[in-house]
């Protein structure tokens, strides 16, 4: 049986993707939504911005070897806007992104990230610019996103971060993972199910 996973800290290097209003169609093009599972989604984030028609790599942060292995993504305003496709956070997560820091996020995108265990935390415009410059100057900089203290730290710097308390609580208690929560409380689920009339075909 799987254990409940609490998401309290994410540490690692970062990659910046500049620009406001980056929508889910840019994050993952619609033609990749037809795949039956999410297994290959990590191949597709920002695909049309990373590759030309012949498959040749273009200049994009996710193609830059300097940012290889980054687990934290820095973004600007209204990231993840547009359609509500859950493939967008799936693509980023399966690429290796474990936390996203930005000025603001589309609500559905942030919710989809949370139920996957990927925190989307906000900072001010001045602070995200500071973070982007820091990683562009030194891609090997290590950052720590701490959901319990609501801070992001790197070097001698510490920045306050924000996210809805419902999201923070779900991540830090492990209740973001509804499937594991159900499995961990299987006996209680069975007991409750046995009292539901439609589970026994309304037999008296």
Would you state the pLDDT for residue 96?
97
Would you state the pLDDT for residue 175?
86
Whether 182 shows a pLDDT value over 60: the answer reads no
Whether 45 shows a pLDDT value over 60: the answer reads yes
The stretch 180-190 carries a mean pLDDT of: 63
Sort 129 into a burial class: Cβ within 10 Å, 0-12 / 13-18 / 19+.
Answer: middle
Could you give the domains of the chain?
A: 9-173 (3.20.19.10), 177-204 (no CATH)
Whether 200 shows a pLDDT value over 70: the answer reads no
- The fraction of the chain above a pLDDT of 70, given in percent, is 89
Residue 32 and residue 53: Cα distance in Å, rounded? Answer: 15
pLDDT, tens digit (0-9, with 9 covering 90-100), for 71-82: 999 999 999 999
pLDDT, tens digit (0-9, with 9 covering 90-100), for 71-119: 999 999 999 999 888 999 999 999 999 999 999 999 999 999 999 999 9
pLDDT bracket for residue 58 (50, 70, 90): very high
Would you state the pLDDT for residue 1?
43
Three-state SS letters, the chain: CCCCCCCCEEEECEEECCCCCCEHHHHCCHHHHHCCCCCCHHHCCCHHHHECCCCCECCCHHHCHHHCCCCEEECCCCECECCCCCHHHHHHHHHCCCEEEECCECHHHHHHHHCCCCCEEECCHHHHHHHHHHHHHCCCCCEEEECCCCEEEECCEEEECECCHHHHHHHHHCCCCHHHHHHHCHHHHHHHHHCCHHHHCCCC
pLDDT, tens digit (0-9, with 9 covering 90-100), for 9-31: 999 999 999 999 999 999 999 99
Rounded to two decimals, the pTM is 0.87
Would you state the pLDDT for residue 3?
77
Residue 149 and residue 13: Cα distance in Å, rounded? Answer: 20
Q: Which residues of 165-191 are buried (b: 16+ CB within 10 A; e: fewer)?
A: eebbebbbebebbeebeeebeeeeeee
Would you state the pLDDT for residue 189?
63
């Amino acid at each position: 049986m799987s254990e409940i996973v609490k998401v309290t800290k994410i540490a690692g290097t970062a990659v910046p993707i500049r620009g406001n209003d980056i929508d889910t169609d840019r994050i993952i093009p619609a033609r990749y939504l037809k795949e039956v599972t999410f297994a290959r989604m990590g191949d597709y984030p920002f695909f049309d911005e990373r590759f030309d028609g012949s498959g040749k790599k273009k200049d994009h942060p996710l193609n830059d070897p300097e940012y290889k292995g980054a687990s934290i993504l820095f973004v600007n305003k209204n990231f993840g806007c547009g359609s509500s496709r859950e493939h967008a956070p799936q693509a980023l997560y399966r690429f290796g992104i474990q936390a996203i820091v930005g000025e603001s996020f589309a609500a559905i995108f942030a919710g989809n990230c949370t139920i996957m265990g990927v925190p989307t935390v906000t900072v001010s415009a001045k602070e995200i610019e500071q973070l982007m410059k820091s990683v562009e100057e030194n891609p090997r900089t290590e950052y720590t996103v701490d959901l319990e203290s609501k801070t992001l730290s790197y070097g001698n710097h510490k920045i306050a971060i924000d996210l809805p308390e419902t999201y923070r609580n779900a991540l830090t208690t492990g209740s973001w993972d509804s499937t594991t929560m159900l499995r961990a409380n299987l006996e209680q689920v069975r007991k409750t199910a046995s009292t539901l009339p439609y589970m026994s075909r309304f037999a008296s």
